[in-house]
Amino acid sequence: MSVADPRVAVVTGGARGIGRQVVRWLAAEGFAVVVGYANDTDQAALAVKEIVEAGRRAIAVRADVADETAVAALFDRTEREYGGVDVVVHAAARTAAGTIADLDLSELDELHRVNIRGTFVVNQQAARHVRPGGAIVNFSSSDVGLAPEGQAAYVASKAAVEAITLILARELRGRDVTVNAVAPGPTATDLFFDGKDEQTIALLAARPPLQRLGTPEDIAEIVAFLAGPAARWVNGQVLRANGGIV
């Protein structure tokens, strides 16, 4: 990589929500960004258009994060386009609510596929490709610590993300690559608002001492920190970004 070449970031789930804001922040920090997405071609294209119009570099690549062949192709395309990979932000995930007694097991299987297998597959490729001085950032959830009723399947999947994060940080000993996770609390995204009434949203917004929902910008700034030079001594950690909910 020459002095003039930008650092390169892969962001899964980069077409919408927190992932989309992470794409914006990393591009603003000077990264060439690869927007990984599953289905939302139009939003991924808009994300790329926004970055390119701002004078930065970006492409969108479609990949199911649980499909190892597709994810390997995503990383290969990144290296062909930009010469390497410095940062991987794995923001792609899904959620499902339901009590242990009542949850449809097909929902559990899909959570396992996307949140656990998807994290493992993306981290496997990241471990093989990220250059020295790079960073891998996964997404957990503050619900892992809060253990709310009706969220057992989702929380279990995100607890697995935390385990993968810590173990990979140890397995990359000597590589000069950090591995951390961000665990947001309630954050104002389309996914968060989906299916919630105004009373539920108000109750969740009142829980943090800061008396508001998080924003995608709040979380993206933390990711940018973990991906940047100021966080080189932060490794194998889960940063609970939730405004103070305990």
Q: Which of 37, 139, 154, 225 is catalytic?
A: 154
Q: How buried is 184 (Cβ within 10 angstroms: 0-12 exposed, 13-18 middle, 19+ buried)?
A: buried
Question: Are the C-beta atoms of residues 138 and 180 closer than 8 Å to each other?
Answer: yes
CA distance from start to end of the chain? 44
Secondary structure letter of residue 240 according to DSSP:
E
* H runs (alpha helix) in the chain: 17-28, 41-53, 68-82, 105-111, 118-129, 143-146, 152-171, 190-193, 198-206, 216-227
Q: What angle do CA 75, 89, 78 make, to 5 degrees?
A: 20
Cα 159 to chain centroid distance, Å, stands at 14
Q: Is 82 a catalytic residue?
A: no
Return the H-helix or E-strand segment holding 60: strand 58-62
Residue 38 to residues 8, 12, 25, 69, 130, Cα–Cα distance (Å): 20, 9, 21, 14, 22
Instruction: Provide the token pair at 79.
Output: 């290296």
Instruction: Provide the token pair at 21.
Output: 């804001």
Task: Give catalytic residues, as residue numbers.
Answer: 154
